[in-house]
Amino acid sequence: MSLSPGKMERMKRLAWPNGVIAALAMDQRGSLDKMLAQARGCDRKAITPEMRAEFKTAVSKHLSPHASAILLDPEYGLPAARVRHPGTGLLLSYEKSGYDNQRPGRLPDLLDNVSVKRLAEDYGADAVKLLIHYTPFEEARIDGLAVNDIKHALVERVGAECETYQIPFFLEFVGYDHAGGSEKSLEYARIKPEVVTRSMAEFSKPQYKADVLKVEVPVNLQFVEGSSVFQGQKAHSRREALEHFRRAAEASSKPFIYLSAGVPNRQFVESLEMAAEAGSDFSGVLCGRATWQDGVARYASGGLAALEEWLAGAGVESINAVNGALGAARPWTAKLGLS
């Protein structure tokens, strides 16, 4: 496989010189509002656009020097993009926060006043990120159309846009229980490896034109016997979990990086250590809340000064803990046979 010269140039801006992607995610919107409101003990409506932008800007200022790239949103994250470290690449989100909860299937939607052209040419993005909620088990239909076929078509459109403007396409997919159960349950933990593995295989197909897959860890460590966060109910033994890491990695013909999915920092680091033990050929991370979420309470109680103090100390330690677990990561070019 090969990349166009335009995509290749931009990809190099998103990775360290060794080809590993150590990216920081700060494009949260609805979830950030929820965290801030809970920490402040207020209604989510009390969280202002200025507060979102201030929080994102502080995170970018203090943590982007320790990241190869930062993911932001064009709604509230552009001030944060302007203060990022000069050597840090920029990914921008294309989707609206959340999903359609009025119809089945968790359908995504794109931002109304944004296009790939604008993300690349007006906002200076080095890559475009699209998030969809996806499970290969989804059977719902809307007006006679299969929900997953609707999602496939959306991804194809975004991939074609990115191809036109020679900008890398990072596709993120987050699994869910098609039967309506909790993604934190033992029942879902048992099927999560299949959800992740089959999704990685699907979106490796050439029609989507995805350049990097942003994927979940294929197991929930809380249900892996022997993990540090094991809660007593077993979905997988450690040996089985390592095999799930291997199977998922083998299912992808595209470079892939792990997302942290909001788990605590230590749990995410342990997941990366298991990926390394399994021989997963992941190319890095795009890690958000596992790095900065403990700063939310500081911001809620002490404002910007307290947040910046936390970021400069514990925040830097958190992102460096993740970076320290990337020793086994492979260059993003390896999956493509370019290195």
Q: Quick: pLDDT tens for 114-136.
A: 999 999 999 999 999 999 999 99
Residue 148 has pLDDT above 80, yes or no: yes
CA distance 208 to 289: 28
**59-67: average pLDDT:** 98
Q: How many Å separate Cα 91 from the centre of its chain?
A: 11
C-alpha pair distances (Å), 8 with each of 15, 123, 190, 203, 333: 11, 19, 38, 20, 10
> How much is the pLDDT for 153?
98
Q: Where are the domains of the chain?
A: 5-324
What is the pLDDT of the chain when averaged over all its residues?
Answer: 97
Name the class of domain 5-324.
alpha beta
φ and ψ of 242, to 5 deg: -60, -35
Q: Which of 320, 298, 319 has its CA nearest to residue 309?
A: 298
pLDDT, position 339: 72
Q: Provide the pLDDT confidence category of residue 101 given band limits of 50, 70 and 90.
A: confident
Question: 């021989």: which residue's tokens?
Answer: 279
Q: Is the pLDDT of residue 257 over 70?
A: yes
Tokens matching residue 278: 């399994």
Residue 170's CB: how many other CB atoms inside 10 A?
A: 27
**Rounded Cα–Cα distance for residues 285 and 277 (Å):** 16
Task: Report the pLDDT averaged over residues 27-39.
Answer: 96
Q: How far apart are CA 43 and CA 49, in angstroms?
A: 14
Sign of the dihedral through C-alpha 202, 199, 14, 20: negative
- pLDDT the model gives residue 1: 65
Determine contact, residues 248/195, Cβ cutoff 8 Å.
no
Q: Which of 2-6, 79-83, 136-140, 331-335 has the lowest mean pLDDT?
A: 2-6
Mean of pLDDT values over 261-275: 96
Q: What is the DSSP string of 50-107?
A: HHHHHHHHHHHHHHGGG-SEEEE-TTT-HHHHHTS-TT-EEEEE-BPSS-B-SSTT-B
- Both tokens of 248, joined, read 């998922």
